[in-house]
């Protein structure tokens, strides 16, 4: 037994728990901001750059100036050779990476051990950011897919991490881009904070609830993210901390916010116009945070040019993992081939020509996630019912904001103090309340919990794209109530308010356009030249169309007799509107579907347009 025991000295010679990664440089280097001229010159000698010692001394460059030193500055003070300037900047980058605090490590199920900068930790450890722990990434999808319990919090960590990974890969591959530690930190902060403005149940709040609660107000969560970010920085006194870590304010604050929501001085319409111009590559530079020579930095967190960004990389991988759906796109491969090339005066992130098929897989994954999960028919109706409950509870929910002022559920977006308190927990607050004023809202939420849901009558498609407005939806609901088939039951009365029409748009992220048309590639033979690859150069099996409209109809009445009658109303309405035959049309209304010849003969063309619609279109075509 004694031979099996190890002495303390023997144990100390064995395995030791690894410590967190810290700087490999001397401790004194971590305080370089406080160096004088002589300490700066001493560092140059240590890095075998002593030949430039007199130049730095003559210019009185101190440690505080090192973090602001760029290539143009070095050239201006007389260092004319590009090789010498790059060598100096390389040594300075090592200094910039030295921090007085240790990075923090997170164990993430998607990306493994994620290491984040201390400034990012300062942002994470605030009430405004921690709020994201209580907002489901996929909203009501969790009530259908039990694995989808992840929140905006972990997604935001992932986006901040991936933003740093992409920039570090570009910096190692192309040091001539002169990506500074400031650039990397600002892009990571933008990735971390891009979803701060999401409300309860994520996209349901800004896409469904607010347009009905406050139809006069145009509001998007990106705008709220900017307001929440400003509040976060101010409330936690982070400006001095940011400056300590080398950020230059207010320029870098503008840069962070521009990455989240686009140009700061533009309204919603102007931003959309700029985004369209960006996709065409020729436009006047609208940003203040970084100049055109670093235009590629704006394509990392929210890429308005083609939609390929680290936000999608994280939520594709994370959502597929939690939903149990196979992901076809691997962002790690994109990292290996990403390069920056110049196109029409702009520097754009490009990838190898052989990766074009993998990028189509990315957008195919997006379409699959929307079709199978995000736009699942039960998810949609649950979110519709939650919206109804929130609308009924709106004026009775009081949230305290700045100065003690009270705000309702829909008006909390006007005050970030109040909005910080608004999370998915509002569902439980209403459900568990005893207030008589919340009785109607409480009953709807109880129906959701007990799975007494509105019934889906079916799904159809129009032959051509239709512009949808609230008036269109109301008109269709009235038509559904009037669309009584001759064989229908006469003792069931259905009203417009008994129907809910939901229109879903499925696309590849750029309406009806092919997003790959806005991607640029490079070849192995010449990695500096960007080229465009068209769909017909890739495969004949790729989509012919990149967007479609789906029309779903639900019935609020839940008794079997009313639902059966409503289904026949729906089939008759599809016939009257010349929409596609519902997939189960022959089952739910076998006496009706043969009455429409194009349905009976199954003569719909590939676009979903039937014979009747095609004849009408040809009559209008005089060419």
The pair of three-digit structure tokens given for residue 161, joined into one six-digit string:
């991490």
Instruction: List Cα–Cα distances, 66 to 44, 50, 70, 199, 446, in angstroms.
Output: 11, 16, 9, 42, 62
Is residue 159 within 8 A of residue 194, CB to CB? The reply is yes
Nearest to 164 by CA among 60, 301, 10, 286: 301
Query: CB within 8 A of 264, min separation 6: which ones?
Result: 226, 254, 257, 258, 288
Give CA–CA dist 518/307, Å, rounded: 9
Q: Is residue 230 a contact partner of residue 249, using CB atoms and an 8 Å limit?
A: no
Written as one string, the DSSP assignment of 320-380 is: HHHHT------HHHHHHH-EEEEETTEEEEEEEGGGHHHHHHHHHHHHHHIIIIIT-HHHH
Beta-bridged to residue 349, according to DSSP, are: 340
Other Cβ atoms within 10 Å of 184 Cβ, number: 21
Q: Please answer whether residues 184 and 204 qualify as being in contact, where contact means their C-beta atoms are separated by less than 8 angstroms.
A: no
| Dist CA 397 CA 414 (whole Å) | 15
Structure tokens at 542: 């790729």
Closest CA to 315 of 384, 378, 362: 362
Long-range contacts of 604-608 (CB under 8 A, 24+ apart): 604/580, 606/544, 607/463, 607/545, 608/461, 608/462, 608/463, 608/548, 608/580
Sequence-ordered list of residues with C-beta below 8 angstroms from that of 381, at least 6 positions apart, any chain: 453, 454, 456, 500, 502, 554
Start-to-end CA span in the chain (Å)? 99
Q: Burial letters for 111-125: b for 16+ Cβ neighbours within 10 Å, e otherwise?
A: beebebbebbebbbe
Total residues found in the chain within this entry: 623
Instruction: State the catalytic residues.
Output: 221
Inter-CA distances, 239 with 122, 235, 244, 367, 584, Å = 11, 10, 9, 41, 60
């Amino acid at each position: 037994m004694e031979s099996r025991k190890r002495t303390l000295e023997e144990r100390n010679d064995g395995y030791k728990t690894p410590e967190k990664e810290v700087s490999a440089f001397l401790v004194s280097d971590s305080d370089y901001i406080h160096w004088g001229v002589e300490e700066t010159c001493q560092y140059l000698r240590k890095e075998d750059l002593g030949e430039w010692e007199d130049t730095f001394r003559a210019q009185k460059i101190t440690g505080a100036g090192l973090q602001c030193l760029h290539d143009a500055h070095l050239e201006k003070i007389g260092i004319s050779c590009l090789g010498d300037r790059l060598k100096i900047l390389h040594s300075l980058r090592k200094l910039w990476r030295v921090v007085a605090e240790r990075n923090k490590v997170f164990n993430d199920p998607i990306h493994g051990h994620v290491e984040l900068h201390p400034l990012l930790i300062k942002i994470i450890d605030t009430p405004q950011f921690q709020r994201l722990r209580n907002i489901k990434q996929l909203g009501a999808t969790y009530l259908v897919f039990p694995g989808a319990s992840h929140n905006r919090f972990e997604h935001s960590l992932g986006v901040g991490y991936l933003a740093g990974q992409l920039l570090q890969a570009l910096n190692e591959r192309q040091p001539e881009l002169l990506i500074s530690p400031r650039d990397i930190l600002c892009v990571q902060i933008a990735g971390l904070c891009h979803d701060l403005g999401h409300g309860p149940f994520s996209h349901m709040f800004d896409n469904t609830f607010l347009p009905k609660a406050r139809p006069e107000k145009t509001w998007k969560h990106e705008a709220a993210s900017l307001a929440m970010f400003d509040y976060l920085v101010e409330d936690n006194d982070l400006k001095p901390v940011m400056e300590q870590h080398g950020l230059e304010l207010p320029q870098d604050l503008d840069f962070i916010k521009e990455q989240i929501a686009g140009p700061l001085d533009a309204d919603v319409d102007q931003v959309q116009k700029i985004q369209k111009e960006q996709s065409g590559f020729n436009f006047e530079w609208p940003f203040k945070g970084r100049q055109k020579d670093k235009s590629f930095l704006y394509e990392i967190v929210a890429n308005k040019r083609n939609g390929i960004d680290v936000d999608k990389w994280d939520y594709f991988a994370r959502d597929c993992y939690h939903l149990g759906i196979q992901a076809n796109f691997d962002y790690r491969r994109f990292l290996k081939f990403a390069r920056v090339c110049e196109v029409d005066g702009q520097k754009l992130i490009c990838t190898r020509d052989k990766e074009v098929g993998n990028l189509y897989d990315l957008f195919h994954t997006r379409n699959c996630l929307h079709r199978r999960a995000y736009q699942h028919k039960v998810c949609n109706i649950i979110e519709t019912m939650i919206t109804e409950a929130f609308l009924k509870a709106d004026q009775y929910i009081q949230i305290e904001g700045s100065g003690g002022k009270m705000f309702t559920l829909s008006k909390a977006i006007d005050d970030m103090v109040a909005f910080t308190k608004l999370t998915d927990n509002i569902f439980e607050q209403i459900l568990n309340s005893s207030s008589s004023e919340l009785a109607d809202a409480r009953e709807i939420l109880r129906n959701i919990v007990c799975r007494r849901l509105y019934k889906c009558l079916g799904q159809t498609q129009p032959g051509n794209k239709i512009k949808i407005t609230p008036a269109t939806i109301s008109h269709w609901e009235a038509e559904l109530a009037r669309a009584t088939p001759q064989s229908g039951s006469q003792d069931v009365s259905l009203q417009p308010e008994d129907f809910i029409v939901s229109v879903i748009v499925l696309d590849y992220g750029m309406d009806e356009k092919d997003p790959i048309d806005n991607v640029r590639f490079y070849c192995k033979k010449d990695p500096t030249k960007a080229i465009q690859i068209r769909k017909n150069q890739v495969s004949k099996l790729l989509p012919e169309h990149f967007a479609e409209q789906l029309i779903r109809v639900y019935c609020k009445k839940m008794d079997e007799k009313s639902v059966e009658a409503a289904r026949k109303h729906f089939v008759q309405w599809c016939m009257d509107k010349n929409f596609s035959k519902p997939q189960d049309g022959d089952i739910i209304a076998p006496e009706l579907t043969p009455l429409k010849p194009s349905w009976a003969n199954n003569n719909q063309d590939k676009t979903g347009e039937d014979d009747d619609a095609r004849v009408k279109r040809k009559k209008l075509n005089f060419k």
